[in-house]
Structure 1
């Protein structure tokens, strides 16, 4: 099997074509442009009613430039959302997964639920891997992610023609239900996987852990609000790290908690970095944050 490295779109540098907009800068550009056209032109003072005309024009131009920014984002996989993202995927072709069909006859009507843009975006980037019938890692991951309820997958070949596909589920701690594993097996028909491969679909090994830490807050800001924001940051870190083969680093926990207003962080648990293998995922079962002294 070939090595596979998916592109992390969040780490791509922002495209230069997308402008950083400032209405004040546009206003000054408009005034400078009029001064170039007419050497006798004198820019009106902010108290002058004519100044409002320049402000209105600057604001209108800001809206136009923002619309151009949005149009550019709509054709970039890293930024497109909604139906714009679906149109980009149509060229592959790839459809957004339907999670819940909803019920239009219910009161009030229950709308259908589709996979998130982030999950769909991940599959779009990986889609070319699925074109191969030679059995590369990326192809196994792509086809597994196309199954409802699958969060991540890891193929491993312990011996020739034998493939073990570990599956991480979306629910709970990530141990997939048997129904999900069965659907993954069904997804790998003989038309999808290499004819000579023997495939074994297995549940991922989940290692649960707790986070316990004392957060010391600087004098001044509300300790409660700082602690609340630090918790949100930490929850995002552990959620983003709930993947196969992703380690939980104490330094990562410290960085997540060390927001503005925090002087230092003391981490009690985990006692050491949690290093996972490709078929393992770390799941945070509990977060306990204690407010330390203001210093």
Structure 2
């Protein structure tokens, strides 16, 4: 079991404050009354009130900027270039997942791993410093071997044997022989693999499934808009769950499909939770959502 901290369970930092415009404005009005007791509380139409509204709004922006600056130096919250700079502290770079095509019209820029994937590797990098062969170290080196690796797991069925399962980023996740060779070379380096470990690098076992459902709507909202939102949320769910050992739960599918304005969801597929072990990954081959019409 990896010892990486679950960042989602950390409390909200105290330095990040809740900002309320009305509270700031009230403080400014109180300050004005303290400094000038003879000055009556201005009406909202008074120019001085408008000036204080502007000041309160500007202070709110400054406080929000302080919040953003604080989050930018925290691994749990940093994104994009801020996260890249945090990764440099751990000697971990963001991996390129697609080279793009500079000769295309218009040119296609290169693609890089997501903030979530990069953040996970940064966390695992500390375990990667060990040469004792912990699970997190093998996962870190497998993920860092190539931007084409989406996920990896390490298990030890017998003492001395390590089975490293690789999920590819392309297609349904089945890795190519070349990718498996790349990962094998990375985890077999002398400064990575303990001499007593026998490492077996294998491809993932893909479990394919489809989502077939009909949505019924309350009268009023534009059903096409809600249908499109449900389609997008379902896609987000299947993409998030396309990892090793991540189950496809009926509750998760229903939560993705049951958008505001949906009266009920009739789910044809899947019919039960798809249980996935650490050497497997679920892959959705199609999402078909039908408009069942209006039903009060």
Q: TM-score, normalised by structure 1?
A: 0.92
SS at match of 2:58: helix
For the residues of structure 2 that align with 1:12 and 1:224, how far apart are their CA atoms? 39
Shift of residue 15, structure 1, vs aligned partner: 2.5
Shift of residue 262, structure 1, vs aligned partner: 1.2
Distance 1:285 1:8, change over 3 A: farther
Distance 1:79 1:264, change over 3 A: same
The unaligned stretches of length 5 or more in structure 2 are none
* Structure 2 residue aligned with 1:153: 152
For the residues of structure 2 that align with 1:115 and 1:50, how far apart are their CA atoms? 51
* Structure 2 residue aligned with 1:233: 233
* Structure 2 residue aligned with 1:248: 248
For the residues of structure 2 that align with 1:108 and 1:288, how far apart are their CA atoms? 32
Shift of residue 116, structure 1, vs aligned partner: 2.5
For the residues of structure 1 that align with 2:156 and 2:87, how far apart are their CA atoms? 30
2:62 to 55, 64, 69: 64
For the residues of structure 2 that align with 1:230 and 1:9, how far apart are their CA atoms? 28
Summarize the alignment of residues 1-295 of structure 1 with structure 2, pairs less than 5 Å apart. 3-4=1-2, 6-99=4-97, 112-148=110-146, 149-188=148-187, 189-294=189-294, 295=296
Distance 1:105 1:216, change over 3 A: closer
For the residues of structure 2 that align with 1:127 and 1:276, how far apart are their CA atoms? 26
Shift of residue 55, structure 1, vs aligned partner: 1.4
Distance 1:226 1:243, change over 3 A: same
For the residues of structure 2 that align with 1:171 and 1:98, how far apart are their CA atoms? 13
- Say what the alpha-carbon RMSD is for the aligned residues: 2.1
Further displaced range: 109-118 or 142-151: 109-118
Further displaced range: 92-101 or 273-282: 92-101
For the residues of structure 1 that align with 2:101 and 2:293, how far apart are their CA atoms? 52
Q: TM-score, normalised by structure 2?
A: 0.92
Report the count of equivalent residues. 293
For the residues of structure 1 that align with 2:107 and 2:253, how far apart are their CA atoms? 42
Shift of residue 17, structure 1, vs aligned partner: 2.1
SS at match of 1:282: strand
For the residues of structure 2 that align with 1:38 and 1:281, how far apart are their CA atoms? 68
The unaligned stretches of length 5 or more in structure 1 are none
Distance 1:245 1:103, change over 3 A: closer
SS at match of 1:234: helix
